[in-house]
Amino acid sequence: MDSYWTAVVWSLLPTVVVLGLFVYVLRSILRMDRSERRVYAKIEAEERAKRGLPPVSGDAAGR
C-alpha cells in the first residue's frame, strides 16, 4: 500500500508545481500592471499640473 501512495504523490507533483508557477507568474503580471497604471497616473497628474490643467476626475482616470 505504501508504493501506491508514493505513486499518487509522484503523479500529482508535476501538476501541483506547474499550477504554482502559473499562479506566481499570473500574480506577478497583475501586480506589474497595477503598479504601472499607478505610476502612469502619477506622471499624468504631474504633467497636467505643470500645464495648469485641472486634475482628472476619478471616473475618467480608470478609462
Length of the chain: 63
Instruction: Please tell me the predicted confidence (pLDDT) of residue 60.
Output: 54
pTM: 0.63
Instruction: Please tell me the predicted confidence (pLDDT) of residue 27.
Output: 97
Instruction: Please tell me the predicted confidence (pLDDT) of residue 55.
Output: 86
Task: Kindly report, residue by residue over 1-45, the tens digit of the pLDDT.
Answer: 689 999 999 999 999 999 999 999 999 999 999 999 999 999 999
- Based on its alpha-carbon atoms, the radius of gyration of the chain, rounded to whole angstroms, reads 23
Specify the DSSP element, H or E, that contains 62.
Answer: none
Q: Is the pLDDT of residue 46 over 60?
A: yes
